[in-house]
A and B are shown apart, each in its own frame.
Chain A
Amino acid sequence: MRNFFPFPDFTEPSPRPDVSDLRGQVREFLEEERAAGLIVPGLQTWTSFDRGFSERAAACGYIAMTWPKRYGGHERSAFERYVVCEEFLAAGAPVGSHWMADRQSGPQIMRNGTETLKDEVLPKIAAGKLTFGIGMSEPDSGSDLSSVRTRADKVDGGWRMEGRKVWTTNAHHADYLIVLCRTEPKSEDRYAGLSQLVVPLDAEGVTVRPLVNLTGEHELNEVIFDGNFVPEANLLGKGGDGWRLVTEELAFERSGPDRFLSTFGLLKVLVAAQEGNSDPHPVGEIGRLVARLAAIRELALLIGDRLEKGESANGIATIAKDLGTGLEQEIPEVARRIMAERPVRGQSDAAGALAFAILSAPCFSLRGGTREILKGIIARELGLR
């Protein structure tokens, strides 16, 4: 079997900066937000939108942490960024306004965007003032993204777009959507001829329609493109190479703490509820979950080290997401069996957190690549396909 990374690892471990001061500052910031009632524990996830939170976080330097200063970044290490991200998620902070842009869209634009586009959007993302959405899925294209039908036709000075994206998180708040679309007709190679365009959502011809999810919230949307214009400068890459760009960003998208901390708020509630319980069974079940979480976190940190050194991590990032989301889904089930609570909605208490987690759980193994697609990728890495 091909090794995903050296084990036992006899190389010198990657040096990591001391982050205890940074953690202290982030926790202080989060404590102020909590004290002001701006964090609702157990009822928020990393898709919860709050522009104000993002602006205040940006003012502290917690967004665009690794980016160059000339784009408003702070030139800190990927490890420090990881630390801030996990502290935000562990606290249940509403990071939805900046999360996608900071994690994925910004770095993608940095790597493959035109200078005009970089100057236009990156400093505003870094300031927490822009929200990005990811426009990949379509009504008839879920896991099979190569079949997307949204298309952009070349016109003078840019592109004109026709099509429809669905299940787009926070599109109703977003300023831009990075849209995977067809810019050349489909050929033998079904992955060729796709492009990624940075689409301004305030343009004429764009309609955003709500899709209410299982928790009863409006976070997902349908986005309809009916002849809207996208400027030339908003093309990522060379055009036609959109598939490569999509796969490049996957290791970053799939290995972060957002893939294993989505129900951490409930785990905290569960642990607190068992304080002083001497029954070994529920305590052991909690230990099993905590051991799993600690191990998956080590996997995410290892992936971070590898990405920072420019080493490949697509295979392990896929594993990290599959295992992490599995844990996120297991936590509500274990909690339901241990806690003396019925899941009831409407309050930020144990019963409310349990209900929220159960209702949110199905999407964890869908968004960012379904479990089945991930397993297929892992199987290929193992030499089985």
Chain B
Amino acid sequence: MTDTARMLDDTAERLLSRHFAAFSRESEDAAPKLVAELKEAGLDLVLAPEEAGGLQAGTLEASAIAFRWGYHAAPGAMVERLLLNQLAAPLGLESGDRHAICLEDASGRDERYAYASLLDDAKRILVCSAGQDDTLKVAVFDAANAERRKSMAGEDVLVLDLSAVAALETHKLEISFPEFRARAALLTATAILGATQRQLEIAIEHVNTRKQFGRPLAKFQAIQNLLAEAASEHVVAQAAVRSAIVEQEAGRLKPLRWQSAKVQAGRAATVVTAATHQVLGAIGFTEEHVLHHYSKRLWAWRDDFGRQSELERRIGADACANATKFWPWMVD
């Protein structure tokens, strides 16, 4: 298991660093090119069942790829692609290509709109929710009914008004919805931490080299404190995500664990982007610098596969519902 994850991590890192040595993130065909390379290496099928030619691996293995994706601010919706390929074969599809995927917040407050990152030129949107016995229910919508917009990172997204259109068809899969939802959140959180890791590296390198008032920025205590705080947020989120992945692999993941991990990753995204932009100054606020590719993805991912404030509200509601045994609810 862990050897596979290490191997995937190496492959993804090699593929992505080679790719970005040759191509810029800005070009129109950046995502298609990268996706082609990725498919050649089979990295998109990590979660796909074996009979569909996949690795049928778990969240840990997939997290290796999500992390590298974030670390390189790579274009294209990688977490979505991994998840789609897990569902493709059970849905009778050849692959997850040309689809879009999102989760419906069935048990929370009504979220009227479904937001789905566009893969290739998707024709169908898969909206996942909890069916009977918490199995995964997939409602298929025609992408033509959705509004096409741009994500924060400038990539295509579909916005579907769930109250206005009906599904073309629905499927019930023998996959646990809570586990699928947790996996989606944890992979997104891992991608966030790949990006915050790289942003912190960029910031640290910058303050150690750029001089003002005759000394490197890193020598100013105000700068040190700002980056210490940002790195601390990154580290606590890492701890939470790491342990949630371990628990999911062991089959004993509680909602609080993955929800809190995703919330912390979201908070890390907010604090790290703010601190990094602050220390890079105007240099980081133009498209000349690579920083914005990270920031924009981080700002979007905070609310992908588990909107940060919605998860906080759910944790709070669960905590209050368990008020009489609050501590055991937290730790048992």
Contacts and interface: CB of A to CB of B under 8 A. Distances in A.
A284 B63 CA distance: 28
A13 B2 CA distance: 10
Interface string A258-295: 00000010011001101111001011111110111111
Contact of A375 (B224, B235, B256, B313): B224
A308 to B, nearest CB: 16
Contacts, number: 187
B207 interface: yes
Interface in B1-60: 2, 5-6, 9, 60
Interface residues of B, number: 66
B227 A382 contact: yes
B197 A1 contact: yes
Interface residues of A, number: 59
Nearest to A280: B313
B241 to A, nearest CB: 8
A376 interface: yes
A270 B159 CA distance: 38
Contact of B320 (A7, A9, A286, A372): A286
A301 to B, nearest CB: 7
Contacts of B264: 291-292, 295
Contact of A274 (B204, B261, B320): B320
B232 A291 contact: no
A174 B246 CA distance: 43
B239 A268 contact: no
B228 A295 contact: no
A287 B313 contact: yes
A323 B236 contact: yes
Interface of B is mostly: helix
B107 interface: no
Contact of A7 (B193, B312, B315): B193
B317 interface: yes
A290 B332 contact: no
B67 A291 contact: no
Q: Which 3 A-B residue pairs are closest in the complex by CB-CB distance?
A: A287-B316, A287-B315, A379-B224
Interface of B: 2, 5-6, 9, 60, 63-64, 67, 109, 190, 193, 197, 200-201, 204, 207-208, 218-219, 221, 223-225, 227-229, 231-232, 235-243, 245-246, 250, 256-257, 259-261, 263-264, 309, 311-317, 319-321, 323-324, 326-328, 330-332
10 contacts: A12-B2, A271-B326, A284-B316, A291-B315, A295-B237, A295-B260, A375-B225, A375-B228, A378-B228, A384-B204
